Amino acid sequence: MTIRVAIVGSGPAGFYAADALLRSEAGVRIDLIDRLPTPFGLVRSGVAPDHQKTKRITQVFLRILADPAVRFYGHVDIGADISLDELRASYDAVVLAVGAPRDRRLGIPGDDTNNVFGSGAFVGWYNGHPDFHDLDPNLDVSSTVVVGNGNVALDIARVLVKSPAEMASSDMAPAIQRRIQESPLREVHILGRRGPAQAKFSNPELAEMTQLADARTELVPPDVPDAPPDGLDARDQRRAAKNLAVFRELAGHAPPGARRCLRFRFWRKPVEVLGEETVTGLRAAETRFDADGRLVEAGRSEVIPCGLLISAIGYRAPELAGLALDPDGVRLAHEEGRVAPGLYCVGWCRRGPTGTIGTNKADGDAVARRIGAEVTASGKPGGAGLESLLTARGVRWVDAKGWDRLDAAERAAAASEEAPRRKFVRIADMLAELDLSKQTSRES
């Protein structure tokens, strides 16, 4: 008998789980369900708009979607349109690939001041995620602070300082590009609470900053250690050594006439967001390692003036159907990928917000192995059950053909020959394009 599996979330983790199941389970049927009408999750709305090469992985995902055993149900909200229990009753196994969409907060006084955003919201806005199209950050500012020394902070800073020519082949909405380009922004500060050797930037991404055409880069403090400190594991040691070499180069990067300045400020920990109506600055305490290697405040602080503050300090799994989170509130509570009998998790909701797109392959393989060992076909209706529930509730979903049409419309609407597409940023516009109207109470 056929094993019927629903995968909730069609980002990389969802697709790699589908791929692994197709390879390991003869006769499996897989339904990929997404809250949005569009597939690809963070590849579409998280990967930076100027990193189009990274987005080519969607070609692999499209091949998976084209498998006759796989169907796509876009614009179906588990928890709103149908409950997780109803889904579990229809499928032999349900795999949650719902990511970690909630921003971690700074947790310091003033972190809810106007024009302070988490990276999920800010990146979602400039990447055209429908949840954030009306975020409307005020870019009429001369200085921005980006908190965090990971790749997301680097993406945000890069997108804020690249020139129009450097962004021409991106898929950022033209109106948002114009707002960034026309902003009086002069300084972008990237704040790290530790030093250059401890920064989590991937080396190729950091090295990209040496190519910026319209921004000079500075380091505060300016000195770069000769070598990484002892005590890092071998992988971090290699990355740190390469990053230190790039930082040395970045210290002297000054293209003639550069409009903007990117300043890496190390050894600074955010302690207070300043501003009444809107953010005017960030108070940051200087830090150092104590004799036991713990990060401690060094006793001095400074105020970095800024009119826009973005924290890029990590994410948390969503609240879904009352499922428990682990004690640190970041991942779904699970045991080796199993949340409950027949209910599994993969990707960021399983392991936390770490790793590249390919890291999800291992999660997919692991969940396929577990499902193979634990789940047997029980005659549950699978997609037929899902469709009858949705139809009874007047819920119209977007299938793979619908996505093809949205994709074609976006490509046809590209602002220039270089730009790959102009994204739909409102769900209502996507549904109108497909001539689908939805009669559920939830807002489209």
Residues that bind ligand NAP (CB under 6 A): 106, 147-153, 155, 192-194, 200, 202, 205, 269-270, 312-314, 353-356
Answer for the pair 88, 94: CB distance below 8 angstroms, yes or no.
yes
Q: How far is the CB of 102 from ligand NAP (least distance, A)?
A: 12
Q: How far is the CB of 230 from ligand NAP (least distance, A)?
A: 18
Q: How far is the CB of 313 from ligand NAP (least distance, A)?
A: 4
Q: How far is the CB of 81 from ligand NAP (least distance, A)?
A: 29
Reading the block at residue 9, the tokens are 């979330």
Q: For residue 55, what are the CA distances in angstroms to 11, 41, 47, 183, 416?
A: 12, 11, 7, 27, 19
Q: How far is the CB of 212 from ligand NAP (least distance, A)?
A: 16
**Cβ nearer to ligand NAP, comparing 153 with 425:** 153
Q: How far is the CB of 129 from ligand NAP (least distance, A)?
A: 15
**Cβ nearer to ligand NAP, comparing 130 with 353:** 353
Q: How far is the CB of 152 from ligand NAP (least distance, A)?
A: 3
Three-class secondary structure of residue 85 per DSSP: helix
The dihedral through the CA atoms of 115, 116, 122, 125 has a sign that is: negative
- Cβ-closest position to ligand NAP: 150
Q: How far apart are CA 407 and CA 419, in angstroms?
A: 14
Answer for the pair 32, 40: CB distance below 8 angstroms, yes or no.
no
The dihedral through the CA atoms of 54, 59, 60, 61 has a sign that is: positive
**Cβ nearer to ligand NAP, comparing 250 with 430:** 250
Angle at 35 between CA 29 and CA 41, to 5 degrees: 85
**Cβ nearer to ligand NAP, comparing 361 with 405:** 361
Angle at 95 between CA 14 and CA 315, to 5 degrees: 65
**Cβ nearer to ligand NAP, comparing 94 with 106:** 106
Answer for the pair 280, 143: CB distance below 8 angstroms, yes or no.
no
**Cβ nearer to ligand NAP, comparing 115 with 149:** 149
**Cβ nearer to ligand NAP, comparing 55 with 186:** 55
**Cβ nearer to ligand NAP, comparing 155 with 363:** 155
Instruction: Give the position of tokens 């220039």.
Output: 416
**Cβ nearer to ligand NAP, comparing 315 with 424:** 315
Q: How far apart are CA 228 and CA 195, in angstroms?
A: 10
Directed axis angle between helix 151-161 and helix 119-126, to 10°?
A: 40
Q: How far is the CB of 289 from ligand NAP (least distance, A)?
A: 11
Q: How far is the CB of 147 from ligand NAP (least distance, A)?
A: 5
Could you say which DSSP state residue 335 is in? Answer: B
Neighbours of 342 (CB within 10 A): 18
Q: For residue 121, what are the CA distances in angstroms to 66, 152, 156, 310, 444?
A: 31, 12, 11, 9, 19
